[in-house]
Amino acid sequence: MLKNKNILITGGAGFIGSNLFERLIEEDNFIIIIDNFNDYYSGKEKRFNQLTESLQINKDFDLIKGNLINKNIFKNIEIEIDVIFHLAAQAGVRYSIENALEVSNNNIISTVNVLEYAINHSVGKVVNASSSSVYGNPIYTPVNEEHPKNPISPYAVSKLCGEQYVDYYSREYELPCSSLRFYTVYGPRGRPDMAIRKFINLILDGKEIKIYGDGKQIRDFTYVSDIVDGLILAAENKKAYGEIFNLGCSDPISVNKLVDKIYKIIDSERNIQYVETKKGDVDATYSDITKAQEMLNFKPKIHIDEGLKRTYNWQLKRRESK
């Protein structure tokens, strides 16, 4: 476990970043967060303030509000950083199709600035958030790290490009780095544009849900605490340096099955419309996590049934407190 370290989390106010922050702050680490609170979805800043208030912290944490595209963003960091978790990115496959330039600009330049900072300030380790979207439509499943990379959205291309920069800095500057390819992450503080959170809200509001395609497409839904485990394991393990790992649950279900499970938890009348598949959506995501299991001792612990219950309870609480 990372303990008493100086840690920088980029994108630390976002979904996965805030869950990582919550875990690391409990272990007496000093955390710096860089986040520009972009307006991709609303309520991020309020939610982040509520989180820090509920943790009753002020001394072990520093927030730099600003954009990583600007390399001066790092100028007020005066301590030596042991680990950078680079999670900041403009997420959203569908959004990236309409906003290719913005997404590539944001994600690629941010990553290069983080890596430049790391080599110039002797940062101990960089863990980079990548995505299963780099594979595109799978040729075989489960998908291992050697699977061909055929990204089908500007977002996925930007994540692949980020990995390649990480690899370059790792080889040329001997910077200890790893990239982790996350599979459809869900859980408390989840992004409102993602299926599970969206479906739960719509069903609770008595509204229709839209399923893209025939709903038979499988998704390797992965609970956020398992992703947080993987991030920390990669930061701690020297064998992970220079490597890329899939981080998924490796137990996918179809979107139809997911919707059945959500209706069962909420116990509500079904109201589903099937609509045309959206550009950028892949046919299947299914991770082979053998490498992460063997090298990092990564073990996803939260089954989809348990993860959905936890997510539903978080969403209910959130709606009640509004």
Residues near ligand NAD, by CB under 6 A: 11, 13-17, 34-38, 40, 44, 67-69, 87-91, 106, 110, 129, 131, 159, 182, 184-185, 191
State whether residue 185 is helix, strand or coil.
strand
> Based on CB atoms, which residue is closest to ligand NAD, 159 or 261?
159
State whether residue 122 is helix, strand or coil.
coil
Contacts 24+ apart (CB under 8 A), 313-320: 314/187, 314/188, 314/189, 315/197, 315/200, 315/201, 315/204, 316/204, 319/204
Q: How far is the CB of 58 from ligand NAD (least distance, A)?
A: 20
Asked if residues 285 and 184 have their Cβ atoms less than 8 Å apart, the reply is: yes
Q: How far is the CB of 252 from ligand NAD (least distance, A)?
A: 14
Q: How far is the CB of 123 from ligand NAD (least distance, A)?
A: 17
> Based on CB atoms, which residue is closest to ligand NAD, 133 or 170?
133
Q: Which residue out of 95, 155, 186, 286 is catalytically annotated?
A: 155
155 is catalytic: yes
* DSSP codes of every residue in 203-233: HHTT--EEEETTS--EE--EEHHHHHHHHHH
Pairing type for strands 253-254 and 218-219 reads antiparallel
Residue 261: how many other CB atoms lie within 10 Å: 18
Q: Which residues contact 278 (CB under 8 A, 6 or more apart)?
A: 94, 212
> Based on CB atoms, which residue is closest to ligand NAD, 63 or 269?
63
Tokens standing for residue 185:
């992450």
Q: How far is the CB of 271 from ligand NAD (least distance, A)?
A: 25
Q: How far is the CB of 273 from ligand NAD (least distance, A)?
A: 24
Active site residues: 155
